[in-house]
């Protein structure tokens, strides 16, 4: 599990920070040098965050948590022409970049007009390449409600912005609504504007954190097998089968070690349906002289109890699927 951070400090001794990030198994998402100041967006294992903070303190730098770092956000406007006063969309884009987001402005080809607006399949597929889509709409409640067809079948979380306050239940297809951001013919620099932008940032961070927790709580079986194949230093080819490695071990023994280590890193266990979910247990009970049962926690369903022997059998099955 990784935490995304923003490191802000001087260029002096910055190589020490970069080497430390690499040594801890992290990676740099984005690097910017502004005169003598260095800004790094990075991802680091959760247990090593304090190490980075201590190094930053030593170098008189600052480290902040940046949930949006590395995420791609689409800022969608019905058009980028003067008709829709794109000041708000531009300021939203600029404000999100301060929190580490990578955002793209998208103007729809036929988005203007309450009765004539539309969105093409190409535009939808472009928007769906992002993690979150922010639809910057106008100042009239009726117009915002009637344009819900622009995003009601987009397969990424959608946040709608506009001037009036509208209950989210009245916007089918939207995951959240942020008011106070309509067609404004000036820069968003006043107090109410900044508060609305901060509300938008909080909303995006909440959605991204929910997506992150959802990804970390379960994994599809095929995706897990792909990860194991990518981690393996030995070629896994079903035509070669379970061949012998140079250390006289069979390939299945090596792959089983990879599977068990990956499950331990991600706190995942194999459920009866074959997919992997967050779970606990399996510790050695010295009094009973046996291993405890596992508790598997699939989201939105009842927990599943699995014995240690049954879990071993499930691990062996997935190893055989990978190798043979």
**16 SS3 class:** helix
Query: Rounded to an integer, what distance in angstroms lies between the CA atom of residue 181 and that of residue 313?
Result: 56
Count H helices and E strands in the chain, helices first.
9, 16
Return the pLDDT at 256.
94
pLDDT at 126: 93
Q: Which residues of the chain have pLDDT under 50?
A: none
- Contact by Cβ (8 Å): 111, 77: yes
Bridge partners of 158, per DSSP, are 133
d(CA 305, CA 307): 7
Position 217 scores a pLDDT of 67
How far is residue 106's CA from residue 97's CA, in Å, rounded to a whole number?
16
pTM (2 decimals)?
0.64
**Alpha carbons within 13 A on the beta-carbon side of 186:** 4
> 59-69 in b/e burial notation, b at 16+ Cβ within 10 A?
eebebeebbbb
Cα gap 232→318, rounded to integer Å:
15
Domains observed in the chain:
2-65 (3.30.70.260), 72-215 (3.40.50.360), 220-323 (no CATH)
pLDDT of residue 216: 61
Please return the burial class of 79, using the count of CB atoms within 10 Å of its CB with bins 0-12, 13-18 and 19+.
middle
Residue 35 burial class via C-beta count within 10 angstroms: exposed 0-12, middle 13-18, buried 19 and up: exposed
């Amino acid at each position: 599990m990784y935490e995304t951070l923003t490191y802000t400090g001087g260029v002096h001794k910055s190589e020490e920070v970069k080497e430390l990030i690499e040594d801890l198994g992290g990676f740099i998402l984005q690097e910017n040098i502004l005169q003598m100041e260095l800004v790094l967006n990075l991802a680091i294992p959760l247990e090593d965050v304090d190490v980075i903070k201590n190094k930053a303190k030593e170098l008189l730098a600052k480290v902040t948590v940046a949930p949006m770092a590395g995420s791609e956000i689409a800022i969608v406007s019905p058009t980028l022409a003067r008709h829709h006063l794109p000041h708000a969309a531009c300021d939203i884009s600029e404000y999100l970049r301060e929190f580490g987001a990578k955002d793209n402005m998208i103007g729809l080809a036929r988005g203007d007009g309450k009765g004539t607006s539309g969105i093409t399949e190409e535009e939808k597929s472009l928007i769906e390449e992002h993690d979150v889509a922010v639809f910057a709409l106008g100042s009239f409640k009726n117009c915002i409600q009637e344009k819900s067809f622009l995003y009601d079948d987009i397969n990424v979380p959608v946040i709608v912005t506009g001037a009036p306050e509208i209950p989210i239940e009245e916007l089918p297809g939207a995951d959240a609504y942020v008011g106070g951001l309509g067609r404004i013919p000036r820069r968003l620099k006043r107090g109410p504007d900044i508060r609305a932008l901060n509300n938008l940032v909080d909303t995006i961070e909440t959605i991204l954190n929910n997506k992150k927790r959802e990804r970390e709580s379960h994994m599809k079986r095929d995706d897990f097998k792909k990860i194991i194949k990518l981690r393996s230093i030995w070629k896994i080819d079903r035509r070669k089968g379970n061949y012998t490695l140079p250390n006289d071990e069979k390939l299945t023994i090596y792959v089983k070690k990879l599977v068990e280590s990956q499950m331990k890193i991600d706190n995942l266990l194999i459920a009866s349906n074959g997919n992997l979910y967050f779970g606990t247990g399996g510790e050695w009970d010295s009094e009973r002289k046996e291993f405890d049962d596992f508790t598997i926690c699939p989201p939105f369903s009842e927990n599943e109890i699995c014995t240690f022997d049954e879990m071993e059998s499930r691990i062996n099955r997935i190893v055989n699927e990978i190798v043979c």
